[in-house]
Structure 1
Amino acid sequence: MELASKITLRQLELFCAAADHGSFAAAAQALYLTPNAVALAVRDLETALNAHLCIRQRSRGLTLTPSGTYLVELARRLLREADELCRGVGSFGGPLRGPVSVGCYSTLAATVLPPLMEGFRDAHPGLELRIVDGTVNDLLPMLQGGEIDVMIGYHFGMPGDLDHVVLFDTEVHVLLPADHRLAGEESISLTDVLEDPLILLDLPPSGDHTLHMFSRAGVRPKIAHRTSNFELVRSLVARGFGYSVLIQKPANDESYEGRRVVAKRIVPQFSAESVVIAWPSPVRLSDRAQALVDYARLTVAEHQWTPARASGKANE
């Protein structure tokens, strides 16, 4: 405790800011302080810990030492917990207040986030929901670094060190132009479209997942185009450039250009998938984040296409 009494949260905050911005000057500008104030806080922190935390070079900015790299992760965690302590005590016995942030996989964002944002705002008016969308590769570092509280995506794209709650179940389908020879079929197999060109949604991890599914089926698709743009995939399919294999199924059966597409179930189904909301296993969710998880678990599915709803069955 004697050592801890020599360290302040403000010193840790300024040290983390210097690490994030790459220099004392940039951190000072972001925090409306003088560079000397940031440098002094870091120097006092080094003195208290008897450790060299960073190397200052005019041409290259600030570089963390191994001790500094170790400390910055601990400091960020401690600052989050201190912030949570203040918010928790301040809202004890009353409505939840403050920010909660969620990342969402891009192709899910358009149908998952708007109803979630609207309903959560009404249920918890004191909470400020912050959102970000992107690929799994974009969102995972943000989740693990504490920049977002939770992440919504497909279970197949999540690493094993995350806790999660299933929001709804869905499955892969084939997307065809409206005038395709198989458009009138109730369902199709992957072998039915093997001679057609594939428009591959190559947005991590969807592209690898699709190709793995073909591999499991023992067939090889003819890839004509790759794109990370979900709506471009639908537009190319609608114009007859090929078919695609997707999970997300918008309620609208038209492309941006107003051309019709049709979705067909794959039989046999090689990839039934779950959409989950996840967070790092070692992290205890804040009350605000837990409220978001609970609300999402109860409400997200009712706004989404699911195989059960498509067949007239109620979701479990």
Structure 2
Amino acid sequence: MAAKYTLRQLELFSAAVRNESFAGAADEMYVTPTAISVAVGELEKSFGVQLVTRQRARGILPTPAGLHLVERAAKLLRDAGEIQRALSSGIGELSGPVSLGCYSTLAATILPSLIHGFREQYPGVDLAASDGPADELLGRLLRGRLDLVIAYRSNLPPGLEEAVLYETSVHVLLPAGHRLATHDVVSLKELAEEPLIMLDLPPSGRHTLDMLQREGLTPSIAHRTPNFELVRSMVARGLGYSLLVQKPSIDISYEGLPLVTREISPQFSQEAAVIVWQKSLQLTDRAQALVKYARKNVSASQ
């Protein structure tokens, strides 16, 4: 039986739900609010169910049926776009968009070489990359705003598939003149009375506190910041120590002051940098190519 709805109607309906109003959807889709309203009404008539509740001066909200349709429509529209791109660009030639998010502390050492190398190998692919807190990026991934996210494995939400890029471990960052800087391994208990400069960019802050609490330690937090380089600069100035996973290849701060990294004891676990995607969604050929490229090249660069 032929479908009684069109892809265009699904596009307009999805925009209405995304913007929570016909006016907002009209601005996004470059049509009139009436065109959005008509498309939604036609879909409701075709399916025989109410898809949104209309609230005067407060926009619209999807009904349970509307939420179900949004999820199914996203896959249908995605597949339709893939068919269009495959036929217009030629079989075997990758083209079209792929969106990648990267946890901020990983971004500086991963993204530049990854973007440069991937674009050279796949010039027809439009790779858009952004960085930010892991929680924010994973939320965008689960809402379908990102195809892939690079983050640490700890505290990942359920429903994701992953590919490991490389494994690393927590280290202590010290100023070069620190009393423990000459030690090969530093015990967490030896740091118990010292001020902690804490990287407070989710999930790093939680991970640091959990690790110390498992050792029975309550840290003296001198400063919290989501800025990775500020943490390094403050440590280099002798204002405290820090516990970090990411280790840049240079051992100086922005101010040119020396830093020392040392293993810690106990080392509770290895940490893994992973690239993740929604388990319920089939990756596009472009996203699959990016995963494969990242697995091959990121570990080598680290």
- TM-score bin, normalised by smaller chain: over 0.9
Deviations 1:12-59 (A, max 9, x none): 100011111221122112221111111111111111011111222332
Deviation of 1:60 after TM superposition, in Å, equals: 0.8
Query: Which residue matches 1:312?
Result: none
Q: Which runs of 5+ in 1 are unaligned?
A: 305-316
- The within-5 A match list for 1:147-186 is 147-186=145-184
Q: Which runs of 5+ in 2 are unaligned?
A: none
Deviations 1:144-200 (A, max 9, x none): 122111111111132242111111111100001122111222221111211101111
Name the stretch that deviates more: 163-172 or 30-39: 30-39
Q: Secondary structure at the match of 1:121?
A: helix
Q: Does 1:98 align with 2:96?
A: yes
Name the stretch that deviates more: 72-81 or 241-250: 72-81
Q: Secondary structure at the match of 2:201?
A: coil
- Separation (CA, whole Å) in 2 of partners of 1:200 and 1:248: 13
Deviations 1:193-243 (A, max 9, x none): 111011111111111111111123333322222221111211211111110
Query: Which residue matches 2:297?
Result: 299
Query: Which residue matches 2:9?
Result: 11
- Separation (CA, whole Å) in 1 of partners of 2:11 and 2:270: 45
- Separation (CA, whole Å) in 1 of partners of 2:216 and 2:283: 42
- Write the letter of the residue equivalent to 1:117: I
Query: Which residue matches 1:45?
Result: 43
Deviation of 1:264 after TM superposition, in Å, equals: 0.9
- Separation (CA, whole Å) in 1 of partners of 2:99 and 2:71: 19
- Separation (CA, whole Å) in 2 of partners of 1:26 and 1:282: 28
TM (normalized to structure 1)?
Answer: 0.91
Is residue 150–residue 278 contact of structure 1 (8 Å, CA) maintained in 2?
Answer: yes
Q: 1:279 aligns with which of 277, 280, 283?
A: 277
Deviation of 1:295 after TM superposition, in Å, equals: 0.4
Query: Which residue matches 2:140?
Result: 142
- Separation (CA, whole Å) in 1 of partners of 2:91 and 2:83: 14
Q: Does 1:222 align with 2:220?
A: yes
Q: Does 1:240 align with 2:269?
A: no
Deviations 1:249-282 (A, max 9, x none): 1122222222222111113322321111111112
Name the stretch that deviates more: 152-161 or 85-94: 85-94
TM (normalized to structure 2)?
Answer: 0.95
Q: Secondary structure at the match of 2:154?
A: helix
- Separation (CA, whole Å) in 2 of partners of 1:226 and 1:281: 34
- Write the letter of the residue equivalent to 2:231: V
Name the stretch that deviates more: 193-202 or 218-227: 218-227
Query: Which residue matches 2:260?
Result: 262
- Separation (CA, whole Å) in 1 of partners of 2:280 and 2:75: 11
Query: Which residue matches 2:80?
Result: 82
1:20–1:95 CA distance, 2 compared to 1 (3 A): same
Deviation of 1:92 after TM superposition, in Å, equals: 5.1
Deviation of 1:69 after TM superposition, in Å, equals: 2.2
- Separation (CA, whole Å) in 1 of partners of 2:28 and 2:300: 42
- Separation (CA, whole Å) in 2 of partners of 1:279 and 1:65: 27
Is residue 216–residue 270 contact of structure 1 (8 Å, CA) maintained in 2?
Answer: no
